Structures are given as structure tokens and as C-alpha cells.
Structure 1
Amino acid sequence: MNILLDRHSPNPIYLQIRDYLSRLIQSGKIPAGQKLPSIRSLSESIQVNKLTVIEAYSLLEADGLIHARQGSGYFVNRTVTSGFTKRSNFAPAQEVIISEGEGSFFHQYTSSIQARRQQNIIDFSSGFPSASSSNYLQKIAKRALTKTGDNVFKEDFPQGQLVLRELIAQMLVQPGLEVSPEEIIITSGSQQALSLAMQYYLQKGDWVIVETPTYHGALGILENLGAKVIGIPMTAEGMNLELLEQYLKSHRPKLIYTISTLHNPTGITTSQEHRQALLGLAQQYECPILEDNAYEGLNFEPVPAPIKALDRDNWVTYISTFSKTLMPGLRVGYMVVTGEHRQPLVKQKLLNDLHVSTVSQAIVSELLASGHYRRHLSRLRTSNLQNCNVMLQALERYFPDAIAWTIPKGGLFLWTHLPNHLPIQAICRDALSEHVLVANGAAFFPGGGYPAMRLNFCHTPEDIEQGIKILGRILKNYLTPTYISLGLPSQGRRQELGVRS
């Protein structure tokens, strides 16, 4: 195979190889099932180091374009698409929620943990992936501890181990975020990163912008800080930017909290144009952005670069984590902090917990350095896409027409929007009595909101089918003419959802 390489280009050779092969595969010039040249033969034909070819092949595998067969080499994958060309019918009322920051994160989180430890529970409530193989992790952990030796038992810098920060900086190049290791702070999951950033930017009584709905853990932090919350409603394209500008002008908030990629809880990913417009408004009204992309990397198709990648004046603090892609118990997250904000946040991190577990950092470093993390993400994306399709098909089959839902481009869950008169708490209780646990959408609003459920699709097809069938039957019971004729009042400021065509 002859690949034309520009050895004077700032674009690394391994990326040039990846991009070239990616174009051939996606155009069909290299068909599904075809074997790629061996690492040795390709390195010899284009005169590059074998490690360069390995790196390029690893990226193609992480992109879901190829797969390795033990002892046989690399082969082109069959194209996997969502299979759903229908647009989402998610269209909630566009009403702003003003709140002192009430929330139920503690109750929802602890109830979910308790319920999941019972047998025969189909848990649609979780914001985490399905459990990874413990044997696989044990091997990686053993190798990591062997490599680091006694250093793993010593104290470390509050910003985290340098080798891990270097590996994260390399990883972030792929989604379009170029940062130095010095601009990365390792945290105990993204929850600690959120807490540190919100404590840094906000004081009691400050106004803060959030999307509605939004991550309930962030609402819990804001409530604890005594912040005043302005909930800007989500559209199918992301936060309503017209309403955002109106409240930036009238309330002069101190922070905008946003989830641009695979939004929690809706699963929505915003466009490049939306991200640029949001950043432009933040700059115009001098309001920092906290970008929380905890599910970055779990996309089914290409997504725009983070808002932080567009930031040239240090308006954006970026947060992500490995807890949502590896396992919940591995509490390793990170912040990308540039400019004058970095040093104060490092000091705040030191006062919070000195540093993240050196053992956990060593394990994540080994996963990244060995290429296992890329391969793990590729497998997880493929599995999640298949399960997402199963859930979407089950929703079409079993849910009443009066229910709307989002069609995510990745992540772990989707969002269902119920008619106003439905009693969401009673529905959740009825579902749990039949061993189906769902996340009550009320937890994702800072007060008010509309009845909704967040549904995690990281389950077996059989469990998804059974769980959605049960939920569909419960919802239909509450949509009978007898129940509707009772004239129950709507909950909060909500708009009745029309029937899907």
C-alpha cells in the first residue's frame, strides 16, 4: 500500500496514516471484512517505525473502523449506524425556571445504589456504564503496580501525576482540544471537579445559568453553595440561546454551566454553530463557562470539538472523567484550566484532599499508555449503539403516542418527556414494584419542570425489552380516559406534549 506522507507537516505521521486509511474505509474503497496490511509490511512499505503504524491502527480501532483478530491482524469493520433516521420529537415548553437551588441528588443517588443491590432489578436509573470484566482490570492493575513500584505508595502533587496528565493531553488531541499537561488537574471523578470549579467561581447568592434539565449532581452542589439558579430550557438543539442572552443581560450571572456533548440527562449533542454562539455570548457578557463533558468519547458518530477548543481567552473550564467510560468505582476525573484560574484551583484541590489515589492514577495511566483504553471505548461504543437501538425500537413498540423522547448520538441514556397530567412519582413507584428502576426526571430540574424519565440503555436486549414493556403498560394505564377525566392538575410550569405523527 502506497500512502503519501508529508514528513514536514505539523500533523503527526501516525495521524496522516489514520486519516488516509479512514477516508478509504469510509468511502468503501477498502471494503468491510478486508484485511489491512500487517504492521511490519506497512511500516516497511512507507518507511516508518512499526510503533507509528501501531498508533495509527489503534486510533482506527478506537474510531470503530477496524478490529484486531488474535494472531490474524487487523480487519475492516462492517458499517454500524443508528438505523434511526427519524428526528427526535423532543419539544418541551420554553420556560425559564428561577430557583434558590433545590434538588434531590442525595436521595436519588442513594436510592439507586440501594435498589441496584437487590436481585432481579432492571436498573434504567444509572448514569454509569455496565460493569467491566474484573479479570481484565486485575491484569491492568497488576501491570500498573509492577511498573510504578514503590512510587505508587508515596504522596504526590495535588494536580496529579505528570505521566497521567501527559497521557490525557495526548488523548484530548483527538477530539480537538490541544492543551499542555500543566493545564490539567486530576480530580476524584468529575463530581469533585464540579465542586472545586463552582466553589471557585461562585459565592453565596450569586446567579448561575444551567440548562433545564441538567445533571442533578451539579444542582446539589449549587444548592449547597447557596447559589441562585436560572434554568434555561433545552431545545432539541441545546440550550435556548435567545433566552440565555436575555438573562445574561438582566441578571449578570457569574457562571454558565453547560454539557455540550451527550448532555446529561437528555443525551443531546450541540452543533459547532451552537457552541460558537454560546462562547460568543459568554465573552460578550463576561461570564465564564463550566463545560462538563463527562460522557465525551462515547459518541456513536463524530461530534464537534469541545467549546474549550474554541476558547482563546480562558473563559472556559473543561471537565471530564474516566468513571463514566471505565467504571464508577475508579474515581479519576480531570479539569482543563488555563490562564490565571489554574493556580488558585490547584491550591483549592490541595486543601480538598491533597491528591487523588496514586493507585487509581497508575491504573488509568496504564490503560491509556497501552492502548487498552481506546480499544475499550471502541467496544463500549459498539455495544451501547446496539443497546440504544434496541431501546428505541422498544419505545416505538410499547410506549403510548403521547410520550416523546430524544434520540442520542451516544452516551448511556435517553430522555423521555411525559404529558403534564401524569404523576411521575406514582409511575416510578409502580415501576419499582415490578422490579424496574427509573430516574425520576424531577431530580434534574432546579424546581418546577415537566414529568420525565431518564433511561439508561446499557443492559441486555432481553432486559431492555422487558423493562420498556412494563413501563409502557404502566404509562398506558395512566393515559386511560377514566384517569384523564379526573382532571388532575399539571405539575409546575409545563406545556402539554402533542401526539407524534
Structure 2
Amino acid sequence: MSQQTLSKAGTKASSGYKYTFAARMAKTPKSFIREILKVTEDPRIISFAGGLPNPELIDVDGVARATAAVLAEDGRVALQYSTTEGYRPLRQFIADRYKKRLGLDISPDEILITNGSQQCLDLIGKVLISAGDHVAIERPGYLGAIQAFSLYEPVFHPVLLHEDGLDPAQFAHELKANPIRFFYGVPNSQNPSGVTYSEQRRKDIAELLRGKNTLLVEDDAYGELNFAGKSLPSFRQYLPEQTIITGSFSKILAPGIRMGWVVAPPAIMEQLVIAKQASDLHSNYLSQRIAYEYLTHEDIDTKIRVIQARYKAQAELMVSLMKELMPASVRFTTPQGGMFVWVTLPEGISSMEVFERVLKEDVAVLPGTPFYTDGGGKDTLRLNFSNSSPEKIRAGIGRLARVIRDMDRP
């Protein structure tokens, strides 16, 4: 029985009781990554499938010191309810960092602390999408956003992604042909492709949106992970009243604290705060206090440089091995930052078949189909390089290349 049939007709419990679900659930895809991660719990599996930071780079001792300090100095307050907007000193820290990193003047009143950047996407969907609204998204696009927005039943308009960013001609066509509510994109080290928009492409996209009643949602989860150590301009620089930014501490501090934020103009922020109040009152206040304590007492910039250097070395190793071992007909991106390499397989080779075959060799990869809203991606793979040692990258890419070479033979 299909998911859609289950949503409409319900499903039966062992007692015969019939459950029924909201129709929107039939339009919301299950997270393929979460399902694959169940497979990769086997320690024998070399996994390129997830999107996990390298656990060796999580500063457990530093977080422990920060936690102890918060509990010792202000524990009863840190364990109490708090405001929906979040701990103001933490919001000020984020605002100051935008000024330092990107030259943006952002008020802490324009920042809302969330439970990871994934909650940002859910809140944005709640306040901006009505059923049937038109939303533009990259092709391929981040599957977490596809899943979050799908709950609110939009019409997706995927726009092709090139090595330097979004296709401006296709985007211009979509804007002209449809009342696009907002465009969602990941301009820095895009998930899943690893592509970083060039500065010129950012200007092109901003110019197409200028004066239009279309917002731009800039997911900046990987902005601090640029291998060159320098940041390209935010869309807010070009479109301050039309840009919403989402950010996260998951990639530079620790994903387990589930701490992200959204930056939005005041009128949008007011609606986001109302939606968050209805959702969870406020984000984990203890985690907010710990994050702030850590960020103001540890050397976060040195930590980020260590992460950048490690990921750069791992990405370069993966790409060099693929150049050496893969058939010439295999194409792949060369990321400038982030955590992913995007692979396009030779014509006629199915990514699901590659997934199944290489899993028998104790290697997990992620087929690209969940990143498409139009049924594409059947010949694509996403490979994660951040959560593997050099030894595992060598062994895993060797096995993957062997499987693809065998499938590519006439």
C-alpha cells in the first residue's frame, strides 16, 4: 500500500483499529538518510552516506568546561524556562560574528535561536507557505528542506545548479512564469553538490529578485567551512529586506546540542517567534548558555581553522582517488568547502544499484534521488568526506570505484 493510500484510508493496528492521518503526510517524504544511517550502525561499514562532522574534532573537554562553568555560576537560571527569542548575549555574539565575517549589520533582535537549523526550515514553512504556494529550490536541493517544506504542501520549482551556482536563465523563467513565494538555496558548499556560488552568480540572482515580491532563504550551514578561510558575500548584502538567513553551530561546535538560528527582517521575525512559541516555547536554554560560555572562553576561530584544514585534506584525498580510480565517464564536483562530493554516474548506471552492490562490500553511499523534487537524480550519488579517516576514504573509494568499473563494462 502506498504512503498516499495510508494517509487517506488509514492503517490498521493489530487489534483492527483503523488509524487515519492528515493528508499532508502523504506529501512528505521519509528521510532516506535516517534510514541509511540505521544500516551504517554496523562498525564494519565505511559510510560516506551521512552528513556528520568528524567526531575527532568535537571538543569534548571544552564543552565539559563550559557546562561545568554554567552550572556552577548560574545553574538554577540556566535550568529554568526562558524567552522564545533566545539568550540575548548569544544572539549578540552571532550578530557580532556576522559583522566580523561578512560585514553585515544585524541586530540581535533580528535573530531567533532554534533547535538546529532544521527547525528554521520548519518555522519558515509554517509562516510563509500555504498549500499550493510556489517555492523555488536548487536542483539538486537539500533533502532536509524538501522534507520540511513538503509538510506545508507547496509546488516546488527546481532550478538547475551549475558549478558556479544557480542557472540564472532558468531562474528568471521561473520568476516570470510563477508567483514564487521564496527561493531556498545553500550558496556556500551546497548540500548535496558541494557547489559554492561565485560572487558574480550571487549578484545575478539578487538582481533578478530585486523589486519582486519574492523572498530568498539563504541556508548558511557550511559558510564557516570554506577551505580558503574566506567568506563570499551573503545575499543580505544585496537584498537586506528580502533575505532570511539560517545558521547552525552543528558544524563548528557540536550537532548534539541542536543549536541553530534564523536571521530575518522584523516583520518576518515577529511571525517566526509566534510560530516557535506554538511549537516549543523556546530552544534548550541550558544548551544556549553552554554554547555562549564555550564561544566566549574557547578559541573558536582556531578550532574552525583546524576543521577547515582537516576537511580540505580529506576532500582532496577523496577527489584525487576518484580521478585515479574511477572510469573517465564518471563526473564529480571539486568542493571548495563543506562536507560533500557530488557524483554523476555513467549513462545507464543506477545509483540505487550502486548503493546495493557497494553495501555488500561494506561501504555505504547515498543515492541522489531524495535531493530531487521532480523524480531526477537516478544516476547521482552524494559522498560525505568529513566523517571518515584517510584510511577509510582510501579503502571505501577503492571498493566503490571497483563496483562502478564492473558495472560500466560493455
Q: Within the alignment, does 1:343 sit opposite 2:267 as a pair?
A: no
Q: Within the alignment, does 1:274 sit opposite 2:198 as a pair?
A: no
Q: Secondary structure at the match of 2:343?
A: strand
Cα RMSD for the two superposed structures: 1.7
Cα deviation 1:11-67 (Å, max 9, x = unaligned): xxxxxxxxxxxxxxxxxxxxxxxxxxxxxxxxxxxxxxxxxxxxxxxxxxxxxxxxx
Q: What is the identity, as a one-letter code, of the residue corresponding to 1:310?
A: Y
Q: Within the alignment, does 1:215 sit opposite 2:145 as a pair?
A: no
For residues 280 and 246 of structure 2, the distance between their equivalents in structure 1, rounded to whole angstroms, comes to: 18
**How much has 1:376 moved relative to structure 2?**
1.6
**How much has 1:129 moved relative to structure 2?**
0.7
For residues 128 and 208 of structure 2, the distance between their equivalents in structure 1, rounded to whole angstroms, comes to: 18
Paired position in structure 2 for 1:114 = 38
**How much has 1:279 moved relative to structure 2?**
1.7
1:438 pairs with 348, 362, 365, which one? 365
For residues 236 and 98 of structure 2, the distance between their equivalents in structure 1, rounded to whole angstroms, comes to: 11
Q: Secondary structure at the match of 1:210?
A: strand
Q: Secondary structure at the match of 1:118?
A: coil
Q: What is the identity, as a one-letter code, of the residue corresponding to 2:205?
A: L
Does structure 2 retain, via aligned residues, the 8 Å contact 1:196–1:348? yes
2:114 pairs with 181, 187, 201, which one? 187
Q: What is the identity, as a one-letter code, of the residue corresponding to 1:139?
A: R
Q: What is the identity, as a one-letter code, of the residue corresponding to 2:382?
A: R
Cα deviation 1:275-296 (Å, max 9, x = unaligned): 1221221224321111111111
Does structure 1 retain, via aligned residues, the 8 Å contact 2:110–2:264? yes
Cα deviation 1:278-337 (Å, max 9, x = unaligned): 12212243211111111110111123121123223x101100111122222120000011
Does structure 2 retain, via aligned residues, the 8 Å contact 1:214–1:445? yes
Structure 2: 5+ residue stretches without partners: 1-25
**How much has 1:133 moved relative to structure 2?**
4.5
**How much has 1:102 moved relative to structure 2?**
6.2
For residues 103 and 349 of structure 1, the distance between their equivalents in structure 2, rounded to whole angstroms, comes to: 21
Paired position in structure 2 for 1:58 = none
Q: What is the identity, as a one-letter code, of the residue corresponding to 1:162?
A: R
**How much has 1:228 moved relative to structure 2?**
0.6
Structure 1: 5+ residue stretches without partners: 1-100, 482-501
Q: Secondary structure at the match of 2:256?
A: coil
Q: Which has the higher mean CA deviation after the structures are superposed, 131-140 or 228-237? A: 131-140
Alignment of 1:62-141 (within 5 A): 104-106=29-31, 108-131=32-55, 132-141=58-67
For residues 209 and 30 of structure 2, the distance between their equivalents in structure 1, rounded to whole angstroms, comes to: 28
TM-score of the two chains, using structure 2 as the length reference: 0.89
**How much has 1:202 moved relative to structure 2?**
1.1
- Paired residues in the alignment total 380
Paired position in structure 1 for 2:16 = none
1:321 pairs with 248, 259, 274, which one? 248
Cα deviation 1:102-161 (Å, max 9, x = unaligned): 67452x132233123211221111112111253443223222333332111111111101
For residues 383 and 300 of structure 1, the distance between their equivalents in structure 2, rounded to whole angstroms, comes to: 9
**How much has 1:475 moved relative to structure 2?**
0.4
TM-score of the two chains, using structure 1 as the length reference: 0.73
Does structure 1 retain, via aligned residues, the 8 Å contact 2:62–2:298? no
Does structure 2 retain, via aligned residues, the 8 Å contact 1:209–1:230? yes
User: Which is higher, the Rg of structure 1 or of structure 2?
Assistant: 1
Distance 1:203-1:271 versus aligned 2 partners, 3 A rule = same
Does structure 1 retain, via aligned residues, the 8 Å contact 2:116–2:250? yes
For residues 309 and 356 of structure 2, the distance between their equivalents in structure 1, rounded to whole angstroms, comes to: 32
Paired position in structure 2 for 1:39 = none
Distance 1:103-1:240 versus aligned 2 partners, 3 A rule = farther
